[in-house]
Copies of this chain bind each other. A is one copy, B any other.
Amino acid sequence: MKSELAVVLVSGGMDSCVTAAVADQDHLLAFLHVNYGQRTERRELKAFHDIADFYNVQSRLVVDVMHLKQIGGSSLTDERIEVPGADFQRKGIPSSYVPFRNANILSIAVSWSEVIGAQKIFIGAVEEDSSGYPDCRKEFFETFGRVIRLGTKPQTDIRIITPIISLKKSHIAIKGMELGAPLHLTWSCYQSEDVACGRCDSCALRLRGFQEAGIEDPLPYVIRPKYR
């Protein structure tokens, strides 16, 4: 019998979907989604609700934080900056990095968790085989965990869980299949909202992962380049 409540950050992409599948194994679930003015906000929100319906999650919080768009500085939130294409050799941080986004999102998750009594926050960040965002590193989450202990009530006990942080994208796809995660309900494309472009950084990482795993990605794509 599940008794412990976990907040799961569900963007609507495959990483957060597989993370939800892991959390679902032995937790009661509450789903948090953050709209931050990203290009494909509407499509991601649909994916969030579809995944929440799939897991029969009643406790949902959808938050609009417009400040990340006001602040800009990323191709995801500023239309004047181009979304980067696939570049697996890239050194440095791509223009899709939204400054300090994960700290903003985690802070919301902690506030909510403290009020509803959740003891874990699941986040589908990926360090290896990822886009190179600084706020996706293990050390970042470990240190944020210390901030949670210091910045909440003494009786509050909230831990950050990153179940897929060390996995390659192909392993995430395989894990998702094994756990019966509804990958057909997810959305990953940074560029478009109807048919995935197949070309942006996020599509490329996803397609390569499925190709390496030898699994057919269930989403529709404009084009499916071979990335492996």
**Interface positions of A (Cβ within 8 A of B):** 61, 63-68, 70-73, 93, 97-104, 107-108, 110-112, 114-115, 134-135, 137, 139-140, 143-144, 146-148, 150-154
Chain B CB count within 10 A is highest, among A67, A152, A153, for A67
- The answer to whether B103 and A147 touch across the interface, beta carbons within 8 angstroms, is yes
Chain B residues closer than 8 Å to A154, beta-carbon distance: 134
> A137 vs B103: C-alpha distance in the bound complex, in angstroms?
19
Report if A71-B151 is in contact (Cβ < 8 Å); known contacts: A64-B66, A100-B107: no
- Least CB distance from A37 to B in Å reads 12
- The answer to whether B111 and A134 touch across the interface, beta carbons within 8 angstroms, is no
Per assembly, the copies of the chain total: 2
**Which of B67, B103, B115 is the one whose CB lies under 8 Å from A71?**
B115
- The answer to whether A153 and B140 touch across the interface, beta carbons within 8 angstroms, is no
Chain B residues closer than 8 Å to A152, beta-carbon distance: 99-100, 134-135
> A67 vs B101: C-alpha distance in the bound complex, in angstroms?
16
Report if A71-B111 is in contact (Cβ < 8 Å); known contacts: A99-B152, A152-B99: yes
Q: A63-B70, A101-B111, A143-B150 are in contact. List 8 more A-B contacts (CB 8 A).
A: A63-B66, A100-B107, A103-B110, A104-B108, A135-B150, A137-B150, A144-B147, A147-B147
- The answer to whether A102 and B151 touch across the interface, beta carbons within 8 angstroms, is yes
- The answer to whether A153 and B93 touch across the interface, beta carbons within 8 angstroms, is yes
> A64 vs B65: C-alpha distance in the bound complex, in angstroms?
8
Chain B residues closer than 8 Å to A64, beta-carbon distance: 66-67
- The answer to whether B115 and A73 touch across the interface, beta carbons within 8 angstroms, is yes
Supply 10 A–B pairs (Cβ within 8 Å), ascending by A. A61-B70, A63-B67, A63-B70, A67-B108, A71-B108, A100-B114, A101-B111, A104-B111, A135-B151, A144-B147
Which chain B residue lies CB-closest to A67? B63
